Amino acid sequence: MPSTKVGLRSISAFAALVALALAVSCRGFFVGEQLQSITISPTTATVPLGGTTQLHAYGVNTDGSQAGDVTGKVTWSSNSGAVTVNDTNQRGLLTGEALSTTAATITASYEALTPQTATASVCVEGGTDFTILPANNTQVPGGGPFPNNGGYTASVSAQVNGSTQTVDITSGVVWTSSDTSVISIANGVDPATVTLNAPQTQTTVTVTGTYTCNGVAITQTVQTIVTP
């Protein structure tokens, strides 16, 4: 009789262990975290030149539950030297290395899941002494090429990597002309190429450059007199 009781107890204990293992397994304790998808936030980032911006990755588990912040578990990469991304001790941290007219593509990968991407652009934060060249001047269409390599350029003074530098921001400036029939200006190039057309009478055209970084805009103007 005692041996029978011992046997029954052993069977009951084994059955209890199996049931517990199944229950715990269903809750994911024996099975590692299984991600179904990841997303990057933000998907469009701006990084100060010489500064940093943190990206985050968030996951959803295969059972539909939120996995939360998985930034440190995904693999990060950048396709541009203008923006580097940390993939070691502080994953997802972007550093603005150089200005570029093309946004960098930042990729977050996790095992066999479809990689997710974000874009990152570098801008000059807190720029001062906004300067446009050529400054106030007079032009005669057909009288020779426009100075300054055929267009306007812009620069600011800014703190970059701990020192004050003069930084060319021409390609990031939005250029406008008060009279596009006389002066039109190309955006996104350096220098900002100028097209001159002869007016009927001498005309003063106000050229405005606006530069925006992280929502803060600075503006500068120059005047160009164009004669027939």
In this predicted structure, the answer to whether residue 207 has a pLDDT above a threshold of 60 is yes
Tell me the per-residue pLDDT of 19-32, one tens digit each, with 9 for 90 and over.
444 444 444 433 34
The residues pairing with 152 across neighbouring beta strands, listed in sequence order, are 192
Classify residue 11: in a domain, yes or no. no
Classify residue 205: in a domain, yes or no. yes
**67 and 136 housed in the same domain:** no
Classify residue 23: in a domain, yes or no. no
Which residue, 123, 146, 166, sits at the end of a domain?
Answer: 123
Cβ contact 152:175 at 8 Å? yes
Look at the block and give the residue holding tokens 């050529």.
134
Which residue, 99, 123, 147, sits at the end of a domain?
Answer: 123
**132 and 185 housed in the same domain:** yes
- CATH for 206: 2.60.40
Classify residue 16: in a domain, yes or no. no
**213 and 132 housed in the same domain:** yes
According to DSSP, residue 7 is labeled H
Classify residue 86: in a domain, yes or no. yes
Q: Extract the runs of DSSP E, i.e. beta strands, from 100-148.
A: 104-109, 116-123, 128-133, 137-139
**Domain boundaries, position 222:** 128-226
Classify residue 194: in a domain, yes or no. yes
Which residue, 90, 105, 123, sits at the end of a domain?
Answer: 123
Cβ contact 35:59 at 8 Å? yes
**94 and 146 housed in the same domain:** no
**146 and 204 housed in the same domain:** yes
Tell me the per-residue pLDDT of 29-84, one tens digit each, with 9 for 90 and over.
333 468 999 999 999 999 999 999 999 999 999 999 999 999 999 999 999 999 99
In this predicted structure, the answer to whether residue 222 has a pLDDT above a threshold of 50 is yes
Dist CA 17 CA 19 (whole Å): 5
Tokens of 18: 């199996």
Q: Average pLDDT for residues 183-202, to the nearest whole number?
A: 94
Tell me the per-residue pLDDT of 121-148, one tens digit each, with 9 for 90 and over.
999 999 999 999 999 889 888 777 888 8
Tokens of 96: 């603005």
User: Whole-number mean pLDDT of the chain?
Assistant: 87
Q: Phi/psi at 43 (nearest 5 deg)?
A: -85, -15
**154 and 190 housed in the same domain:** yes
**189 and 155 housed in the same domain:** yes
- CATH for 40: 2.60.40.10
Q: Phi/psi at 102 (nearest 5 deg)?
A: -115, 130
Q: How many domains does the chain divide into?
A: 2
**114 and 181 housed in the same domain:** no
Single pTM value for the model: 0.76
In this predicted structure, the answer to whether residue 165 has a pLDDT above a threshold of 90 is yes
